[in-house]
Every structure is written in structure tokens, then in C-alpha cells.
Amino acid sequence: MTPKKDKKNEESQDMYAQRGVSSSKKDVHKAIEKLGKGLYPKAFCTILPDYLHGRKTHCNISHADGAGTKTSLAYIYWKETGDSSVWKGVVQDSIVMNLDDLACVGAVNVPLLLSASIGRNAFLIPESVLSTIIEGTIEFVEKMKQYGISIVITGGETADVGDLVRTIVIDHTITTSMKRSDVIVNKIQPGDIIVGFASFGQCAYESEYNSGIGSNGLTSLRHDLLGPGYGKKYPESFDPILKKKRLAYCAPYNDTLKWNVQETFPKWNYGGEDGKMNFGKFLLSPTRTYAPVIKKILTKIPHNDIHGIIHCSGGGQTKVMKFVDDNIAVIKNNLFPMPTLFQIIKDRVNKRLEREGKDVNKSMYSTYNMGHRLEMYVPKNTANELISISKDFGIDAQIVGYVKSARTKKLTIKTPLGEFVYE
């Protein structure tokens, strides 16, 4: 297969940039580059000296993230259906985007202090929604406690900022301290095997089937899969600038959130218990946490055999490029079959962009996780044990690629859609 030209990918990326979002966050990274990279520059999170107690043997970590624009989709779904339980899923999104980043540096055996930062438009988001968010927080924390993940709720801030926030923003910060000797530092090297852990399906600690979407790429997903009727009905759910650019709610249908996955897309194998699920809930599947899996792996596998743990969040399958040396080539040649939701996104966006001579396939892999949102880089003889541990939790896992030496750093993803190179 011939690698796709970068020019086409740049054209398709324009669609994301015009909507005010970026999968690579290059501008953000440039802005914060002077802040430093902590004790271990190749660690997935910034690892700081132990400023709290001054211990040379320990370190501090404070990580902030949130659910992003997934809250806008949740808002529309809630208004359409009255189903407030969707807010519990969104608060999980926000927590997991912190929890799993910390898990990637091995912070799974220490207490994690959780603080919330919520900004809402009080005219649109009532107290009942805030109560549901708190309930969802408590339920998720209790669920994680059953699997040995200790999260302590410390409180936080809820601000009524209707002049600044159209609907609601849900963010969290997790702070912890751990031994420096327990920190997982990415040292990805030639000869490593890549084990991918599925983002879709239903695992031991999930109550329903998960589409695998996570909490990345939701701005484009919302505008590409929902029709203009949603924009007219809920103008508070998007930036009016997008309407002028004709980038808001571009789908040709106005009943997306009422679809049934199987009935609407019978040619794809959904795989749920009865093969059916409301499409709105499908789009809003809570971000899966891998923290219990990582905790079990770190009790079974020597730390020295874990050469890298990557949470494929912002940047999707290209996230690893931030954590490899210049002489490393990463080859992903055995990804999971593309889950239903990503097929739907690809087909819908492709139909629109094909008329403009653009190709969205390459950018799909740099925006979405495309089937696995966690990957570990390990020696070949370790891979099977990781896969076995993951499957004990009901999460499919497989070898998705390997690492080799190269003159320059690059990532090659080989898929049925083509072979894509990222440098």
C-alpha cells in the first residue's frame, strides 16, 4: 500500500482547526514549553520534586484535565431525552482523563486527591444537574475503590459564569505523591512489542457496552453527526462563528440521537447483548479507565519490563510520538478492527470531504483512538501475560505493532484504509 500524501491530510485537518480545536495541540505545547518537563522528561505526566515534604526519594504529581466539549453533546442529549444519568458518564470522562494519565506513570498504588472545577451557565444548568454530577463522582470513586484504586474527593469549585460559559464545563485535578523508584518512565526501544488494550466492548467494571469514543474529537464528531435542526433548537450548544463558516451541525439528518445503532447501520456488527443501543448513549459512552488493569499488571510484571505506557488521548494513535527518541520507528500493523462508531464517523466525514477532493482517513488516526486507547511497550516475552491480565477484566488486548531503529523518528500505521506515515 502506498502511504497517503501529507498534503491531503493537512487539508482535512483544516476542518478541525476551523472549528477551533486541535488534535495535536501544537499551539498549547509551544505556549507551555518554557515551564519545563519535570524530573523525567519522557514520563507521560510531569513529575515534580517532592515540594510538599522535601523527600529526595519521593515526587509530586498534579494533573489537570476535563471532559472537553463532550459536555455540549451531553447537554443536547439531556434536553432531548430528560435522561440526567448521562451527566454521570461525563463526570467519569473528566476524572478518567486525569486518572489514566497518572496511571501511565505508575500512580495506581497511592492515594489520589481529586478536586473538581465546574463552570456553568446557571440559567441553563440547574442544581439537579450538579447533584447528578456529584452522585456520579461518588459512584465512580466507590467503583474504583473495589479495584484497589484509592481516590479521595477533596471538594472543588463550582462557579456560575454564564457570561463565559455557554452551558457547562467539567474539569478535574488529581494530585498525589509517590516514590521516584515506582515511576514508570518511557524508555521505548527497538525490539519492543506494542500491546494495545481495546477501548470498546463491556469490561468487568462497566454497566453497559462502550463505543470506545473516549473524550477526544467530540467537537468534530458532534458537528459531523448531528444535523442543523439541533443547532437551531440549541444555539447555546455551539459557537455562532461556526454557523457563519457552515461548520456547525453539518449532517443531513436531525434525529441522530434517537437512532438505534443496529437498525440504522445493520451492515456493521455492534456486538452488544441484543445488538441494539440508543445512538445518543452510544456517542456518549463514558471514557474507559484502565487503572485497575495497570495496577494488576504492575503487581505481576517487573517495572524494568515496562518500557512505555501511552494513553492514546489527544493525538489518538500518534500520541506516542511525544515520548520516543529521534532514532526510533514505531510500526502499528495489527490494530483492532475499526469499531462501529469510528466507521460511522469516517464514512460520514468522507462523504462530505470527497466532494472537495480531501481525504480524512489519515487524520482519523491522529484524532481518535480508533479501537485502543491504551498501549504498552514491552519485551516480546512479556506481551502474552499483559494480554491475559487484560482479558481477565473483560478488556480485549492484542499485539498491535513493534518498534525498530530508524534514521529519523516516525510512526507508520498500516490499516485497510491505507498506510499512513507521521513524522
> What is the Cα Rg of the chain in Å?
21
Q: pTM (2 decimals)?
A: 0.90
pLDDT mean values, one per 10 residues, the chain (423 residues):
44 57 56 74 96 97 96 96 95 98 98 98 97 98 98 96 96 98 97 97 92 92 92 94 82 81 46 64 95 98 96 95 96 95 85 65 91 97 97 97 96 94 94
User: Is 6-206+284-422 CATH 3.30.465.10?
Assistant: no
Which residues, 6 or more positions from 340, have their beta carbon under 8 angstroms from its beta carbon? 211, 261, 265, 268, 269, 270, 282
Q: Locate the domains of the chain by residue range.
A: 6-206+284-422
- Cα–Cα distance, 38 to 51 (Å, whole number): 12
Q: Residue 168 CA to chain centroid, in angstroms?
A: 19
Q: Which long-range contacts (CB under 8 A, 24 or more apart) does 349-354 make?
A: 349/15, 349/220, 349/224, 352/224, 352/250, 353/12, 353/15
Give the span between the Cα atoms of 180 and 47, in whole angstroms: 9
pLDDT of residue 9: 44
Whether 346 and 338 have beta carbons less than 8 Å apart is answered as yes
Q: How many residues does the chain have?
A: 423
**Residue 277 near residue 212, CB atoms below 8 Å:** no
Provide the pLDDT for residue 271: 42
H or E element at residue 328: strand 328-332
Cα distance from N-terminal residue to C-terminal residue, the chain: 18
Per-residue pLDDT reduced to its tens digit, 23-39: 555 555 565 566 678 99
